[in-house]
Amino acid sequence: MPYQTILFDIRDAVACITLNRPEKLNAFTVRMHEELHEAMDQVRGSETARALLITGNGRGFCAGQDLNERAMSEGAAQVELGSALEKSYNPLVRGLRDLSMPVICAVNGVAAGAGCNFALAADIVIAARSASFIEVFSRIGLIPDAGGTYVLPRLIGAARAMAMSLLAEPLSAEQAASWGLIWKCVDDHTLMSEARELAQRLATGPTRAYALIKQALNASPANTLEQQLALEVKLQREAGQTADFREGVKAFLEKRAPRYQGR
């Protein structure tokens, strides 16, 4: 489809999705969800992409849901928000978590509501110093969605997750980094160069191993030690059969940089 609300390209093995409604702080709409799902399908089907970079255009990363699509006139039927989550947000978050390549999110400005949790669904989050994270849902009588109630306590603990959700106060990028909510806070003018460099580094790495690492770490919170040890056996067996493992060992023994093909 012709994209109207996002920008999308694949270059040097890095797929890049840029949210592109800067006049609305890149707030989500039905059209944007359709385009994001289409772009994600292209990433999954690509024979060249080995990392995904997500960012926003303009002064904000994503302000969450565009509430103009949720406006209710007097006497109108209630909006059924659960269906919107099942149709749009939940598949988007699952798609990022399950993608068989690293996902890097470069947060260039405010990440609010579903925009915050969309960013946190990435594997590595790097944010500009001027960026902020806001679980804004309680301001309009809602609960954190798009995976927020899942990722927040796992990343920063129950106490901080509860306060972020109830108080709906902005958290600076520097504070987010110090809490462990994100990987790194960088100066605004270096955000995209650092994010692109990180994505490029991962795009030349052992892609299959990265997918198995994601699978193992995402499964860990729900597993017992014995279950996780058994999963490690299964996944390490798969990793040991890849061409990249053979290349990694060969490069180590030959004292040179490995040339991974992502297989």
pLDDT of residue 79: 73
- What span, in angstroms and rounded, lies between the C-alpha atoms of 139 and 263? 47
Rounded to 10 deg, the angle between the 207-219 and 225-239 helix axes is 170
- What span, in angstroms and rounded, lies between the C-alpha atoms of 52 and 199? 7
CB proximity list for 191: less than 8 A, separation 6 or greater: 106, 108, 126, 127, 128
Residue 121 dihedral angles phi and psi, to the nearest 5°: -75, -15
Q: Is residue 208 a contact partner of residue 242, using CB atoms and an 8 Å limit?
A: yes
Tell me how many helices (H) and strands (E) the chain has: 11, 10
Residue 260: pLDDT over 90 = yes
- Nearest CA among 53, 151, 148, 143 for reference residue 104: 53
pLDDT digits (tens, 9 = 90+) for 241-257: 999 999 999 999 999 99
- What span, in angstroms and rounded, lies between the C-alpha atoms of 123 and 121? 7
Residue 74: pLDDT over 60 = no
pLDDT of residue 56: 98
pLDDT digits (tens, 9 = 90+) for 163-203: 999 999 999 999 999 999 999 999 999 999 999 999 999 99
pLDDT of residue 1: 63
140 DSSP assignment: G
Long-range interactions of 159-165: CB distance < 8 A, separation 24+: 164/133, 164/135, 165/135, 165/137, 165/138
Residue 37: pLDDT over 70 = yes
Supply the pTM of this predicted model.
0.92
pLDDT of residue 68: 83
Q: Is the dihedral of CA 186, 188, 191, 194 positive or negative?
A: negative
Confidence of residue 69 (pLDDT cuts 50, 70, 90): confident
- What span, in angstroms and rounded, lies between the C-alpha atoms of 226 and 66? 44
Average pLDDT of span 8-26: 97
Confidence of residue 75 (pLDDT cuts 50, 70, 90): low
Cross-strand bridge partners of residue 190: none
pLDDT of residue 183: 97
pLDDT digits (tens, 9 = 90+) for 76-128: 566 788 988 999 999 999 999 999 999 999 999 999 999 999 999 999 999 99
pLDDT of residue 80: 80
- What span, in angstroms and rounded, lies between the C-alpha atoms of 187 and 205? 26
- What span, in angstroms and rounded, lies between the C-alpha atoms of 250 and 176? 40
pLDDT digits (tens, 9 = 90+) for 199-245: 999 999 999 999 999 999 999 999 999 999 999 999 999 999 999 99
